[in-house]
Structure 1
Amino acid sequence: MKKTLFIYLHRMREQLWFRPLLFCLVSVGGALFAHQADGTKLDDLVPGIKLESIEGLLDTLSSSMLVISIFAVASMLSAYSAASNTATPRSFKIVVTDDVSQNALSVFIGSFIFSIVATVALDIGYYGKSGRFILFLFTLSLFALVILTFLKWVDGISSLGRLEHTISQVESVAAKSLSTYIKQPFLNGLPITNPLQVGQSVISKSVGYVQHVDMATLQGLAKEKGLKIQLNCLPGDFIHQNFAIASITPDEKANLEEITEKINGSIHIGATRLFDEDPRFGFIALSEIASRALSSGINDPGTAIQIIGSHERLFFLWNEAIENKEEKTVLYDCISVPKISMADFFDDAFRPISRDGADIIEVMLRLQKVFKSIETIPDKELKQMAFQYSKEAFHRAEEAMKFKPDLDLLKKECLFYH
């Protein structure tokens, strides 16, 4: 339940309006809080501040911050549009959560609201001597914050939406999700070793992508009802209303309706895939960027080669896990979870590139070098997949390339040639 609440809060935090709203509330609170200093010992300690001095600062804030806020929103929307058009629409969710832009917009809008509230409070005589002094300090501090934020934002907006920056952002999010998966491939549950032969199937009541599985709630249900639950879906899977999302044993037909309701409530379904708990989605988004770059209209093999390097770094996360030898914890021993096939990861990462770049020798050479690199990771399944996809990529090149010396050069880089 706590994790589910945390996920909802995280989703809300990603919304463009959340931080500006939060900073606006803080600004209003700060403007009103200054009044609390009135009538205290500070009256004898602080200098008197003329109303004209504070009003001049507040007027400057109110007249400039709204204009800057509008400019910031326009610049951000332009950057988001560029990211969607030059990279992939799937990258929009990542670019829109850029911390620098959201923080800048929050400070600009919050400063504007602060200036309006403080000006109104000054006009009605809300502040005494100490209150005016505290308000003056708040206003100066806000000025300093606005200037520093603006300088940082100007530096950040220059890269926001650019292709290289977008690729870096997508790779970073993909690495975070994949690292979590490598550490917990079964969501802290048990692997499926012997699929349930008997029992009841739990049918989905929704159509869409699995976004989150609430393992704690499922474990509590299993303990309460004396069940063993076998999941048949993972975050990223698309399911429909005739899909068996889980199987349960023992067979308790009398409670099946209640159990079905609770299991469906624990598996959150949405219209789109999310990066957080879907380790394959990052590979897909990166490959989409490469496919667009390899299209005849753009013809940018350099970007595809850059994406191949991103994939290589992501696959070497398995190498780090092997070197660290981290033990897999089992918190939910009543739930068995399927494993994502390594072939799925390779399909997501390399099939689109080997298909769309089959006739470009530079791309195919880089692809074969990546397979040779991945083959050095001490994992049997990774080695097998690297060998298999090296062979498949070469066969695609055989069908597309017409210049025999290019094929001969490519063959020398293939794993099966050595």
Structure 2
Amino acid sequence: MKKKLFIYFHKLREQLWFRPLLFCLLSVGAALFAHQADGTKLDTLVLNIKTESIKGLLDTISSSMLVISIFAVASMLSAFASASNTATPRSFKIVVTDDMSQNALSVFIGSFIFSIVATVALDNGFYGKSGLFILFLFTLSLLALVILTFLRWVNGISRLGRLEHTISQVESVTAKSLSKHIKHPFLNALPITNSLSDGQSVLSNSVGYVQHVDMSALQALAKEKGLKIQLNCLPGDFIHENFAITSFSNIEDLDLDEITKKMNDAILVGDTRWFDEDSRFGFIALTEIASKALSPGINDPGTAIQIIGSHERLFFLWNESSENDQKNEILYDCLTVPKISMADFFDDAFRPISRDGAGNIEVMLRLQKVFKSIETINHEEIKKLAIQYSKEAYKRAELSMKFKPDLDVLKKECLF
């Protein structure tokens, strides 16, 4: 049940209509709530408000908000297409869930619905003296909200879908996911020390990417059956029907069909990867933008250099973790979880850029400077890999650059 709610909520968040629907329901509620003030002590305290004055405001809102809403949707769709074309299609999910745009669209459509409902109620004499006064306050407040939202949205829509803004959004989402991984690298479970190679394996019943693992469900199953469960896949891994998603201590008199079903139900598999829990996916999306910028048809090394800077900031999150001396909090003591190799993060972030930018001295210089920078992080594995990838990047440059003075300059920035 928890897994189904998680999936449903995650999918709802990506729907463009979800927030506008909530605001529409709130608007209808506000228009009807004003009637509750009638017949109370407010009748002797509030001013007399003419129906015509409220109706004029409502007519203004209703006649303009639908047009602005259509314009907002068209602008957002244009921005989404721009983000997919100029950056990477993987960035679409981030851009489409942009809070500013969804909030603006919600306010515009909700205001239109409010004005229609309130106008119909007014025409049918639904409000008394106090109700008219409360409705007048609601209308003025809504009008002020619309104006402020529109001004903020006009300022923001100019950036939505632009490459620089998309890069910033992807980096921000990646930083959140990576911080979560650094703080809890084993998903609040135990690391794998002794593999359950002689235990019972559970095969996947799906083909696709692991999107979410319900650790609490696996822990509950382990407690109920007295098992030690080893998780063999993490969010972001691609699995198939012959892949052993889990292994567990082999105990007799167990209903293997029931255990297989429950373990598969605890692991959500889909066609695409999610940024929220897949700490590597953000690096991949950023690097795709850099590779696209370095293609001969676009030839934009400045964007690749900007992406390298994003990677540098992300890797320094490990430096902050070392300074805070964070420890893995154990919530699921019956589960063991594999470790994501640091080399995988380096591959995702730097290998495609060093391959596609090998012939560009500016890109390769910036790449070597980043290796020098992250080599100072208080993390032994990062230090070793920074030197290794510095060597590999220089070897790629040697094969691509024909101008020896460029190679000489590049060699001075290397870590070896």
What is the TM-score when the length of structure 2 is the normalising length? 0.98
In the other structure, the counterpart of 2:126 is 126
In the other structure, the counterpart of 1:413 is 413
- TM-aligned CA distance change 1:4 to 1:317, over 3 Å: farther
Counterpart Cα distance in 1 of 2:33 and 2:413: 69
In the other structure, the counterpart of 1:152 is 152
Q: How does 1:213-252 map to 2 (within 5 A)?
A: 213-252=213-252
Q: How does 1:188-337 map to 2 (within 5 A)?
A: 188-252=188-252, 254-337=254-337
Counterpart Cα distance in 1 of 2:90 and 2:291: 13
Counterpart Cα distance in 2 of 1:13 and 1:138: 28
Counterpart Cα distance in 1 of 2:315 and 2:7: 27
Counterpart Cα distance in 1 of 2:169 and 2:3: 25
Counterpart Cα distance in 1 of 2:267 and 2:386: 33
Measured after TM superposition, the shift of residue 49 of structure 1 is 1.6
Counterpart Cα distance in 2 of 1:137 and 1:61: 14
Counterpart Cα distance in 1 of 2:153 and 2:252: 59
Is the Cα–Cα contact under 8 Å of residues 200 and 248 in structure 1 kept in the other structure?
yes
In the other structure, the counterpart of 1:345 is 345
Counterpart Cα distance in 1 of 2:227 and 2:164: 49
Report the AA paired with residue 102 of structure 2: Q
Is the Cα–Cα contact under 8 Å of residues 177 and 278 in structure 2 kept in the other structure?
yes
- Per-residue CA shift, 1:265-295, capped at 9, x if unaligned? 0001111100000000000000000001000
Measured after TM superposition, the shift of residue 29 of structure 1 is 0.3
- Per-residue CA shift, 1:208-257, capped at 9, x if unaligned? 11011000110000010010100110000011111110101124464111
Between 249-258 and 238-247, the greater mean CA deviation after superposition: 249-258
Report the AA paired with residue 413 of structure 1: E
Secondary structure at the counterpart of residue 246 of structure 2: strand
Counterpart Cα distance in 1 of 2:154 and 2:137: 26
Counterpart Cα distance in 1 of 2:10 and 2:136: 35
Aligned: 1:49 with 2:49: yes
Report the AA paired with residue 272 of structure 1: T
Is the Cα–Cα contact under 8 Å of residues 95 and 169 in structure 1 kept in the other structure?
yes
Report the AA paired with residue 206 of structure 2: S
The runs of 4+ residues in structure 1 deviating greater than 3 Å are 1-8, 251-254
Counterpart Cα distance in 1 of 2:156 and 2:334: 47
Q: How does 1:333-412 map to 2 (within 5 A)?
A: 333-412=333-412
In the other structure, the counterpart of 1:185 is 185
Secondary structure at the counterpart of residue 335 of structure 1: strand
Measured after TM superposition, the shift of residue 11 of structure 1 is 3.7
Measured after TM superposition, the shift of residue 407 of structure 1 is 1.0
In the other structure, the counterpart of 1:139 is 139
Measured after TM superposition, the shift of residue 40 of structure 1 is 1.2
Is the Cα–Cα contact under 8 Å of residues 202 and 244 in structure 1 kept in the other structure?
yes
Measured after TM superposition, the shift of residue 15 of structure 1 is 1.9
Is the Cα–Cα contact under 8 Å of residues 4 and 214 in structure 1 kept in the other structure?
no
Counterpart Cα distance in 1 of 2:7 and 2:378: 35
Is the Cα–Cα contact under 8 Å of residues 3 and 266 in structure 2 kept in the other structure?
no
What is the TM-score when the length of structure 1 is the normalising length? 0.97
- TM-aligned CA distance change 1:61 to 1:284, over 3 Å: same
Aligned: 1:96 with 2:125: no
Report the AA paired with residue 278 of structure 1: D
Measured after TM superposition, the shift of residue 2 of structure 1 is 5.6
Counterpart Cα distance in 1 of 2:81 and 2:294: 20
Measured after TM superposition, the shift of residue 4 of structure 1 is 6.8
Measured after TM superposition, the shift of residue 3 of structure 1 is 7.8
- Per-residue CA shift, 1:6-42, capped at 9, x if unaligned? 5642442332111100000000000011111111121
Counterpart Cα distance in 2 of 1:199 and 1:360: 51
Report the AA paired with residue 117 of structure 2: V
Counterpart Cα distance in 2 of 1:4 and 1:326: 32
- TM-aligned CA distance change 1:4 to 1:340, over 3 Å: farther
Report the AA paired with residue 95 of structure 1: V
- Per-residue CA shift, 1:181-204, capped at 9, x if unaligned? 000000000001111121111000
Secondary structure at the counterpart of residue 186 of structure 1: coil
Secondary structure at the counterpart of residue 78 of structure 2: helix
Counterpart Cα distance in 2 of 1:293 and 1:97: 24
Secondary structure at the counterpart of residue 170 of structure 1: helix
Secondary structure at the counterpart of residue 220 of structure 1: helix
Counterpart Cα distance in 2 of 1:414 and 1:275: 32
Q: How does 1:50-69 map to 2 (within 5 A)?
A: 50-69=50-69
Report the AA paired with residue 335 of structure 1: L
Secondary structure at the counterpart of residue 316 of structure 2: helix
Counterpart Cα distance in 2 of 1:277 and 1:259: 25
Counterpart Cα distance in 2 of 1:2 and 1:270: 17
Counterpart Cα distance in 2 of 1:142 and 1:134: 12
What is the alpha-carbon root mean square deviation over aligned residues? Answer: 1.2
- TM-aligned CA distance change 1:344 to 1:253, over 3 Å: farther
Report the AA paired with residue 395 of structure 2: H
Is the Cα–Cα contact under 8 Å of residues 283 and 348 in structure 1 kept in the other structure?
yes
Counterpart Cα distance in 1 of 2:336 and 2:16: 37
- TM-aligned CA distance change 1:206 to 1:3, over 3 Å: closer
In the other structure, the counterpart of 1:117 is 117
Secondary structure at the counterpart of residue 347 of structure 1: helix
Report the AA paired with residue 280 of structure 1: R
